[in-house]
Structure 1
Amino acid sequence: MSQTGIRGFYLLTETIEQQLLSDVNVNTVTTGDIYDIDLSKMSIFPLSHIIINNVISQESVLTFNISVLAMDVVDESKKATTDVFRGNNDEQDILNTQLQVVNKLVKVLRKGNLYNDQFQLDGDANCEPFYDRFSNKVAGWTATFNVFVNNDITIC
């Protein structure tokens, strides 16, 4: 039995974690219930969070449905708003950089190192922006996608 079949969950989540941590726009990667994380600590941002929504066990593959939240704390300026389009914060900058984080992860799953390591994107990723989602003001993206992992566990 290969390592993928035995440790598919671990290998996938650890591989995504390492890919995210290699990005200059990510300081911390977490997993599990997002509300268990102390989001009041400013030093952990920009933060990416991995959620395994479900897994479909098929004959030859496990299909993981995953959401990755990529976020940062919005910095509000004390100066009066002069640009009504951009406002007086860095929310658009955060949306720009955090979209790059999830887009790069998706690209690597589609054709890069992760694809070559047998973690393959199934279809396209859906990326949805969010604003002020938690107790502190953060903004970012939730990317949801499916990843195929080899299912070579046998019943023998």
Structure 2
Amino acid sequence: MSNTGIRGFYLLTEAIKNQLLNDVNVNTVTTGDIFDIDISKQSIFPLSHIIINSVTTQEQVLTFNVSVLSMDIVDENKEETTDIFRGNDNEQDVLNTQLQVLNKLIQVLRKGVLYTDQYQLDGDANCEPFYERFENKLAGWTATFNVFVNNDITIC
């Protein structure tokens, strides 16, 4: 039995999870359906969530289309603010730190240890912000990108 299935899915998601957990701005990493996670627990944040959207099988590589959501709780300050640009919450801080989390992951896939371990970014990643998502006012980013993994399956 070839280890492509293991390398292609299990080890890729495990490698991304471990890279995210190495970041000081990530407490928890999950995968699967985001709505199955009990996101009402404040202790799990900041949280990153891995979704495998699709896999394209080619002769030499498997191309995984991956989305990673990185998010944190937006805390509102009870005091009235006069700073219209920043507001009275930490939303910009959350967006800044969670974009850094995803940027680091993308760079490690592009040139770092994940690249060396044969999990290689294909092209560029697209990062899209989100605001006030879910019931506890989360903000963050969704990064979507493709990762090449060696397709070493044999047909014998």
TM-score tier by shorter-chain length is over 0.9
Residue 27 (str. 1) matches residue 27 (str. 2): yes
2:79 maps to a residue whose letter is K
What is the root-mean-square deviation in Å for CA atoms of aligned residues? Answer: 1.0
Residue 115 (str. 1) matches residue 128 (str. 2): no
Counterpart position of 1:62: 62
Q: Any idea what SS the aligned residue of 2:109 has?
A: helix
Q: After superposition, what is the alpha-carbon deviation per residue over 1:79-120, rounded to whole angstroms, capped at 9, x for unaligned?
A: 002210000000000000000000000000000000000000
Whole-angstrom CA distance in 1 between matches of 2:12 and 2:81? 44
Counterpart position of 1:100: 100
1:125 maps to a residue whose letter is A
Q: Any idea what SS the aligned residue of 2:12 has?
A: helix
Matches within 5 A, 1:7-156: 7=6, 8-156=8-156
Q: After superposition, what is the alpha-carbon deviation per residue over 1:45-74, rounded to whole angstroms, capped at 9, x for unaligned?
A: 000000000000110100000000000000
Whole-angstrom CA distance in 2 between matches of 1:63 and 1:122? 8
1:108 maps to a residue whose letter is V
Report if aligned partners of 2:28, 2:44 keep a CA contact under 8 Å in 1: yes
Whole-angstrom CA distance in 2 between matches of 1:132 and 1:65? 25
Whole-angstrom CA distance in 1 between matches of 2:53 and 2:101? 20
Whole-angstrom CA distance in 2 between matches of 1:31 and 1:153? 25
Normalising by structure 1, what TM-score? 0.97
- Unmatched runs of 5 consecutive residues or more in structure 2: none
- Unmatched runs of 5 consecutive residues or more in structure 1: none
Whole-angstrom CA distance in 2 between matches of 1:24 and 1:150? 30
Aligned length: 155
Deviation at 1:2, TM superposition (A): 6.2
Q: Any idea what SS the aligned residue of 2:133 has?
A: coil
Report if aligned partners of 2:2, 2:154 keep a CA contact under 8 Å in 1: no
Q: Any idea what SS the aligned residue of 1:54 has?
A: strand
Report if aligned partners of 2:77, 2:89 keep a CA contact under 8 Å in 1: yes
Quote the sequence identity (%): 78
Q: Any idea what SS the aligned residue of 1:94 has?
A: helix
Deviation at 1:6, TM superposition (A): 3.8
